[in-house]
Amino acid sequence: MLLREQMKHIHFSNSETIIIDYILEKNELIKNYSIKTIAKETYTSPSTMIRISKKLGFSGWNEFKEAFIEETEYLKRHFTDIDANIPFTDKDTIMKIASKIVNLHQESVMDTLSLIQYDNLQRAVQILKRSRNIHVFAIANLNYAGEEFVFKLNRIHKNAYINPTQDNMFQNALMATQDECAVCISYSGETPTLLKTAHFLKRNQVPIIAITSLGTNSLSTIADVTLNITTREKSFSKIANFSSLASINIILDILYSCLFSLNYQKNLDYKLKIAKEIETNRIIDNEIISEDTKEY
């Protein structure tokens, strides 16, 4: 859940609510305000702001202020000309719809890139590298993204598995060991089945890589490392999960590519060797996509 959403849902006292309303009104401008200035303008006290920070899970005001400004600035980047929830209307022509969906995907990709932190990406890649097996856990249509990730990993001789059946998810998590790892995918980070799976993994000290929305959620709290995806969609009031799914696919492609690069030539040679064996007998008339097998 985004920080500003938490601020709207947590119960605050009257004086705390005055400060919350003030902060939401000023948005990123609060970076220029000291705690004493805000207290003076809201006729409250600095101690009240510290209580607010702790209610929201922060150690103090400065930590809260930094997180709020960072989130506010994120929300102002990208998606200025398109709505991730309702990207087109019934008045749009089919070519206008096509243009808007392409724009939406472009915005999703750049938004995702802006959320990637070097340390978190590096840590996730190292977890994947040293793991004997990689287990991917997701729910519903996100399994398709997970299956493609598993397919790519298997093609470079990296053991990876996904099982969309709930009971099998629980079983696989309970049987997983410390020398394996898990990639858990959830937009909300609050999917009950996935959280139960994550708790089983945590019990077995299996490293968990969470791919989930920006902000605090249960999955990111459990995970060893979190990679955030573009967070622009509502839970259900949307045409489809265009943006979040595009972001998840990008994150998975980045993880695969970074892992691939750690042993680049070996992985490339192996993948081309396997692909050549599979594709040799396929007759393709299109010279753009046809291969000259003599080159390999």
Do 136 and 183 touch, CB atoms closer than 8 A?
A: yes
pLDDT score of 251: 98
Quick one: which H or E segment has residue 242? helix 242-261
Q: Is the pLDDT of residue 296 over 50?
A: no
Query: For residues 222 and 202, is the Cβ–Cβ distance under 8 A?
Result: yes
Residue 37's Cβ-side half-sphere holds a number of Cα atoms within 13 Å equal to 8
Q: What is the pLDDT of residues 29-54, one digit of tens each?
A: 888 889 999 999 999 999 999 999 99
Mean pLDDT of the chain: 91
Look up residue 9 and give its two tokens.
Answer: 């849902």
* Crossing angle of the two packed helices 46-55 and 35-42, in degrees rounded to 10: 110
Give bridge partners of residue 210 from the DSSP assignment: 184, 226
* pLDDT of the residue at 294: 54
Residues β-bridged to residue 136: 162, 183
Q: Is the pLDDT of residue 204 over 80?
A: yes
pLDDT in tens, 215-259: 889 999 999 999 999 998 888 889 999 999 999 999 999 999 999
CA 19/CA 30 separation, integer angstroms: 11
pLDDT reading at 293 higher than 60 = no
- pTM for the model: 0.83
Q: For 223, which DSSP code?
A: -
